[in-house]
């Protein structure tokens, strides 16, 4: 990959002398969905799929971004003196937002830079191609400009800040955190309330984690996402009139059941219920995993899907088809929607001996019902973002 990227870099910018090579992964969330902006727990892992980058400082105040995946946008050129969002920059608004956030936090770059990327995370599939790119940019900037006082957690927070304030999606911290902090063969059990985390080894001797891409992305994803977030904020505000809590994640299901009548709006009630129960499911799932009880882990994944489908309402027909098909296959331990929702991917734990059947039978039935193919990826859990050379 490095050679391809560096050849392109040289073609665009004269040569690749002194450029460096970087990688930043995508992520898949095993359980704990839409809990990260509700002060709850998440349990994602970084993938070996991700975004590769080549970058080098310039002598002037120009920044160049080029994507080998989206070459139709050509070289996007921005001046360090005008770091503003522009529709025509398209994908480059993600790395640009990170430069803008660095500048806003006092890390003003003393020169521009050239950056070429290529990635193998399917776009818009809910596997965090944008967080991958944001954290990649953070790693590049700290490396090129010798910034030593920002930790990987800081780079995750910068990525989230830039996505919230530059790109307009009020996402939580899960994606950027996972991309920054990922560890090979481990998932991350993160409490988004305290930002305390621990790594949990994923050793499934007789099963695989399979991502199934529905290859649909329904429009208005960001606005629907922001709506969900607002509904949770409103539900929390109602609960706070009677309870001394800081987030929905502070409540156990029992405490929620005792207090829930304070929420008068039925939609807000469903959203809050999901957030509270999903948080508990995540805690229980990690405990089950530590006990070696993968069956229970799978059941909790299934319950997570039902809750996301019925109470949080972020699933869609195509994803429900994939999950229903998966649930019918013997050897499927658990299957659910993963990521923000409204299309994208499912994540399933499948016994080794059922993997071929899973891919063949779901692939066929999905094509028949929906009219296009699904894609399947076996998960290899990789490390977080870093410079590779």
Question: Binding ligand GLA by CB under 6 A: which of 9, 36, 311, 355?
Answer: 36
- Alpha-carbon distance of 160 to 58, in angstroms, equals 27
Q: Quick one: which of 347, 211, 193, 348 has its CA closest to 283? A: 193
User: 198: buried, middle or exposed (CB in 10 Å: 19+, 13-18, 0-12)?
Assistant: exposed
Query: Is 261 one of the annotated active-site residues of the chain?
Result: no
Using CB atoms within 10 Å of the CB of residue 101, give its burial: 0 to 12 exposed, 13 to 18 middle, 19+ buried: buried
The 323-362 contact track toward ligand GLA, x by CB under 6 A, reads: ----------------xx----------------------
Report the 10 Å Cβ neighbour count for 60: 9
Interface with ligand GLA (CB under 6 A), residue from 133, 171, 180, 362 = 171
Contacting residues for 218 by C-beta, under 8 A, at least 6 apart: 316, 342, 343
Classify residue 315 as left (phi > 0), alpha (psi -120 to 50) or beta.
Answer: beta
Residue closer to ligand GLA, measured from CB, 33 or 250: 33
- 319 neighbors 33 (Cβ within 8 angstroms): no
- Regarding 34 and contact with ligand GLA (CB under 6 A), the answer is yes
Length of the chain: 389
Rounded CA gap, 146 and 64, in Å?
19
Task: Give the x-and-dash track for 173-202 against ligand GLA (CB under 6 A).
Answer: -xx---------------------------
- Residues in contact with ligand GLA, total (CB under 6 A)? 11
By C-beta, is 344 or 382 nearer to ligand GLA? 344
At its nearest, how many Å lie between ligand GLA and the CB of residue 96? 19
- Does residue 122 belong to the site contacting ligand GLA (CB under 6 A)? no
> Measured from the CB atom, is 33 or 191 closer to ligand GLA?
33
**Part of the chain binding ligand GLA (CB under 6 A), chosen from 28-36, 103-111, 264-272, 349-357:** 28-36
C-alpha 164/C-alpha 239 separation (Å) is 25
Active-site position among 175, 191, 250, 311: 175
- Nearer Cβ to ligand GLA (16/178): 178
Interface with ligand GLA (CB under 6 A) = 29, 33-34, 36-37, 171-172, 174-175, 339-340
Active site residues: 175
């Amino acid at each position: 990959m490095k050679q391809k990227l560096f050849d392109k870099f040289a073609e665009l910018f004269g040569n690749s002398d002194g450029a460096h090579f970087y990688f930043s992964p995508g992520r898949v969330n095993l359980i704990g969905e839409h809990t990260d902006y509700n002060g709850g727990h998440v349990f994602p892992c970084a993938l070996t799929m991700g975004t590769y980058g080549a970058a080098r400082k310039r002598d002037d105040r120009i920044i160049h971004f080029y994507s080998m995946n989206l070459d139709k946008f050509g070289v996007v050129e921005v001046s360090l003196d005008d770091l503003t969002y522009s529709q025509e920059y398209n994908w480059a608004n993600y790395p640009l937002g990170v430069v803008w956030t660095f500048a806003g936090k006092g890390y003003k770059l003393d020169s521009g830079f050239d950056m070429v990327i290529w990635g193998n995370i399917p776009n818009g599939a809910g596997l965090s191609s944008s967080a991958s790119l944001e954290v990649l940019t953070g790693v590049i900037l700290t490396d090129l400009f010798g910034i030593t006082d920002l930790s990987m957690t800081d780079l995750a927070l910068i990525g989230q800040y830039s996505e919230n304030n530059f790109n307009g999606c009020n996402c939580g911290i899960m994606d950027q955190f996972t991309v920054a902090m990922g560890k090979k063969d481990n998932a991350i059990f993160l409490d988004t309330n305290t930002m305390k985390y621990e790594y949990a080894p994923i050793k499934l001797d007789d099963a695989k984690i399979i991502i199934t891409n529905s290859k649909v992305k329904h429009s208005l994803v960001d606005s629907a996402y922001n709506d969900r977030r607002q509904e949770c904020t409103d539900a929390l505000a109602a609960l706070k009139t009677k309870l001394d809590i800081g987030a929905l994640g502070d409540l156990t299901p029992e405490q929620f059941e005792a207090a829930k009548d304070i929420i008068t709006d039925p939609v807000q009630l469903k959203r809050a219920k999901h957030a509270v129960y999903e948080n508990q499911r995540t805690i229980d799932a990690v405990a089950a995993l530590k006990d070696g009880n993968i069956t229970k882990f799978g059941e909790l994944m299934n319950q997570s899907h039902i809750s996301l489908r019925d109470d949080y309402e972020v699933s869609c027909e195509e994803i429900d088809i994939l999950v229903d098909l998966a649930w019918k296959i013997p050897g499927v331990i658990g299957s659910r929607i993963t990521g923000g929702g409204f299309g994208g991917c499912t994540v399933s734990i499948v016994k080794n001996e059922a993997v071929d059947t899973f891919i063949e039978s779901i692939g066929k039935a999905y094509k028949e019902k929906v009219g296009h193919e699904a894609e399947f990826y076996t998960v290899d859990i990789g490390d977080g973002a870093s410079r590779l050379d």
